Homo-oligomer: A and B are copies of this chain.
Amino acid sequence: MDMSIRIFITGGTFDKEYNELNGQLFFKDSHLPEMLELGRNLVPVETRTLMMVDSLEMTEDDRSLIAEHCMKSPEKRIIITHGTDTMAITAQKIAEKVRDKTIVLTGAMIPYKFGSSDGLFNLGRALAFVQTLPPGVYVVMNGRYFNANNVRKNKETGEFEELHQGI
């Protein structure tokens, strides 16, 4: 079985850094390679940055671009790092277009560079789920995987939950 994994980077809290000159958060380079090394990852992965945006500023064109890359990718297993605010929307958009691959979206509530990030934990889980889940589009947050058609971020708690129980 071909286990090679494609990781598409789109930005999000995951990769934000602190600009010490103006006190703003911004994107520079992705921390994915550093995180994979830290995790002593030996599963073959290919990483590609598609964009570096806050997911609240992601447009429909951006989402089409992401879906298109998923379609064209030769790998059958894909991870997408993504801001949490609109992660569920992007997941649904991809699910409409791609059906024969295992695609996992994940992100973080706290930037990796800020020390107490959940990003390392989530990346670890995404890498595991993408190897074992059947074809489909999933959101991996809070230690769980959610079907793209049954997930939302609860804005009050910051936690992901199912739209409908028992599906």
Contact = CB atoms under 8 A, between A and B. Distances in A.
A120 interface: yes
B124 A41 contact: no
Interface in A28-48: 35-36, 38-43
A7 to B, nearest CB: 12
Interface stretch (A13-21, A60-68, A70-78, A89-97): A13-21
Give the copy number: 4
Nearest to A13: B23
Given A20-B109, A132-B133, A41 B142 contact: yes
A149 interface: no
B38 A116 contact: yes
Interface residues of A, number: 46
A152 B147 CA distance: 35
Nearest to A129: B128
A10 interface: no
Given A124-B125, A124-B128, A143 B38 contact: no
A155 to B, nearest CB: 8
A100 interface: no
Contacts of A126: 128
A58 interface: no
Interface in A104-135: 109-111, 113-116, 118, 120-129, 131-133
Contacts of A120: 120-121, 124
A36 B122 CA distance: 11
A8 interface: no
Given A21-B155, A111-B114, 4 more contacts: A13-B23, A113-B116, A132-B133, A132-B145
